[in-house]
């Protein structure tokens, strides 16, 4: 019995020692997944949060000002997809111990520094438009906005390290490329 107890104790000690030796420069998040990340991942999340927030803001305007049901449906789809993505990216930044971007930090931000971001003047013009004029302006602006997000996503996929961030970038690229095609079709029709 003593031998069995000693063997079990030795096995436990060895397992604990191996677990401790297995750590590297990655961190472990609260959900137990190993999160490795680099500066590209942080930049992607910090930039994409305000980018998505602006798309959500534009989508909310569409619900008030758009005349075409297809534009309103697209806006709903954009808002439904990008809201949870913002939450995910904020969670990563928190887990990584990095500053979180938010809509409150968008004020005074040089929107031109991020691909596809609308200026405050553009957002004001969009907010003042109604009906078919709004629809055309929304679709044109959102195509530019999505094109910027696709570019940012491509950069993340090629230079990022975090598997979750790269997977989200791939998802954004696919979804927004499809939405660009849909918006171009709506503009022509």
All domains of the chain, ordered by start, with CATH?
Answer: 40-97+117-189 (1.20.1260.10)
40-84 pLDDT, tens digit per residue, is 999 999 999 999 999 999 999 999 999 999 999 999 999 999 999
What does the chain look like in DSSP terms, one character per residue? -HHHHHHHHHHHHHHHHHHHHT--S-EE-TTS-EE---HHHHHHHHHHHHHHHHHHHHHHHHHHHB--HHHHHHHHHHHHHHHHHHHHHHHHHHHHT-PPP-GGGTTT--GGGSTTPPPHHHHHHHHH--HHHHHHHHHHHHHHHHHHHHHHHHHHHHH---HHHHHHHHHHHHHHHHHHHHHHHHHH-
pTM attached to this predicted model: 0.77
Mean pLDDT of 111-120: 81
pLDDT at 64: 94
Residue 105 has pLDDT above 60, yes or no: no
Average pLDDT on 134-161 reads 97
- The pLDDT of 93-112, averaged and rounded, is 64
């Amino acid at each position: 019995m003593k031998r069995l107890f000693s063997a079990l104790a030795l096995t436990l000690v060895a397992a604990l020692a191996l677990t401790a030796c297995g750590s590297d420069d990655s961190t472990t998040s609260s959900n137990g997944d190993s999160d490795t990340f680099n500066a590209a991942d942080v930049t992607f999340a910090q930039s994409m949060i305000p980018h998505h927030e602006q798309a959500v803001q534009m989508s909310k305007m569409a619900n008030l000002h758009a005349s075409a049901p297809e534009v309103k449906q697209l806006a709903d789809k954009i808002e439904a997809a990008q809201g949870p993505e913002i939450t995910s990216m904020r969670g990563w930044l928190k887990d990584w111990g990095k500053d979180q971007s938010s809509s409150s930090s968008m004020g005074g931000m040089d929107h031109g520094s991020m691909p596809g971001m609308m200026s405050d003047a553009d957002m004001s013009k969009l907010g003042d438009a109604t009906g078919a004029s709004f629809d055309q302006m929304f679709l044109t602006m959102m195509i530019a906005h999505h094109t910027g997000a696709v570019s940012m996503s491509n950069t993340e996929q090629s230079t990022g390290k975090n598997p979750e961030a790269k997977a989200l970038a791939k998802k954004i690229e696919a979804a927004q490329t499809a939405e660009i095609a849909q918006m171009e079709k709506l503009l022509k029709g």
